[in-house]
Amino acid sequence: MASVEYIAGRKKNGNELFNNKIFIFFLSFLFAVVIWCVISMYETPETERVFQDVKVQMSLADTVPGSLEMSVFGTNEFYCDVTVVGKGYLVTDSTFTSDKIKVKPELDAVREPGVYEVRLSAQLTNASGDLAVVSVEPAYVTVYFDKTLQRSFQIIPEIDTDYLIAQDCTVDSMEMSKDYIIVSGPSLEMNRLKDVKAHVGFVDTLQKSVHQPCTFEFVTADGIPLTYSTVLTSQEDIYLDVQISKEKSFEMIVDIVNVPVGLKAESIMSYYIDDFAFRNSTVTLNIPTADESLMAADRISIGQIDFAALAFTENQTVQVDCYDRDIFMNVLPETVPVNVYLDTAAYSEVVLDVPVEATEHGDNVTIPETLTGVSFIVPADSAQDFSADGFYAVLDEAMLEDAVVGDNQIAVSIKSDQKDSAWVRGSYQVTVSVADENATEAEDSAESSGDADEEDTQADAE
């Protein structure tokens, strides 16, 4: 049934729209636009477009030089301009970018190391078949193909001697951190190498030890410089080690070790070094500036005196070994004679017994309760009333753990929680007896058995 409309109170047929002039005008205009678009797409002349700086893909995977284990040396990044032709609407499409252009070198002819003029070819990917590559500019690029070769060379240092050094400083040594350098690069270039030189120069005034960087020169046998700058070296940890020392004066001291608690060594002992170099108790040394602790110090110890090793006499001479021979060997002798003077007039020696600290170490270990004959050095005015109260002997636990069956001499140390006006002279030991645990258990078992038998006998008698 035909479409029927009711307009202004009367019935109207839909076909009468084609009699409406306005409707016919817009319909004609629409058909004209469609026809114009179709003609523009299919009848428009072809247009060219140039894509600039398209990167050449230099991957050697699945290529002849790649299968021969060759690499690209020298310049390995290339760019070119690619001209594409096609329908205008396709060429100018905003989605058509250089990402859809793939430029690769033609490498089938590269079968041995050398420099080649390689032809470039371009293809379109994910693009309309109505587009085509017209030209690639440049059409050829120069590429160096070669195998990597590694060689070892002894470094030839070339050090600039025209440098400035700070006052009171001395150059102790200049040494390369390594004698050899590993160099790798293209085989044709590497086979021409003869020597590797390390050039070192100084810009700043030398006033402390430094690790000076160096630059390397690759000398060829034919005297012609290397063409390609991609020679690789393991030079990141190679440098010139410059050791600088500086004159510095120190007050000389001798360390006194093992001084008893409560005693100031200076109160009874004095010492001096009877040597021409030390008459003023100072010494001037060339100290490596790299030694920050010595550079910051005002005093140095040339050796030490062990108080416990001194005989209790008034005068004696002790040979003091020098500290750190590497630093002082050019200044100090092997040993230094030190005259030691002990003033013992105000002290007396008292010999007493002290208790041994009680410890639990099993029934088979017998520890004496008292250590006899301990020598105390005390002020003379209190010697008569001095007692060993508060002092006790402590066993060396490590030695005690290693004790074997039988008598063992175990070292002890004298401790005190109360007195500090006296010190103990000498070293002491106690005898610790260790019984066989198996024998002890057997004796205990026998005693237990005997007791049980005695009980049984009593019971039978009853």
For the ranges 366-375, 421-430, 453-462, the maximum mean pLDDT occurs at: 366-375
Architecture of domain 250-342: Beta Complex (2.170)
Decide if domain 149-238 falls under CATH 2.170.120.
Answer: yes
Residue 354's nearest CA partner among 302, 424, 300, 293 is 424
Are 46-146 and 250-342 equal in CATH topology? yes
Decide if domain 46-146 falls under CATH 2.170.120.30.
Answer: yes
pLDDT in tens, 4-58: 454 444 455 556 655 666 766 666 667 666 666 665 555 556 788 999 999 999 9
Rounded CA gap, 90 and 127, in Å? 9
Mean pLDDT of 255-265: 69
Provide the pLDDT for residue 36: 62
Say yes or no to pLDDT of 160 above 80. Answer: yes
Rounded CA gap, 363 and 361, in Å? 7
pLDDT in tens, 342-377: 666 677 888 999 999 887 777 888 899 999 999 888
pLDDT in tens, 175-212: 999 998 888 889 998 899 999 999 999 999 999 889 99
Say yes or no to pLDDT of 400 above 80. Answer: yes
Say yes or no to pLDDT of 332 above 90. Answer: no
**Better-scored residue on pLDDT, 41 or 334:** 334
Please report, for the chain, the start and end positions of each structural domain, with discontinuous segments joined by +. Answer: 46-146, 149-238, 250-342, 347-439
User: What CATH number has the domain spanning 347-439?
Assistant: 2.170.120.30
Provide the pLDDT for residue 361: 78
Say yes or no to pLDDT of 451 above 70. Answer: no
Provide the pLDDT for residue 447: 59
Say yes or no to pLDDT of 2 above 50. Answer: no
Say yes or no to pLDDT of 128 above 70. Answer: yes
Provide the pLDDT for residue 33: 65
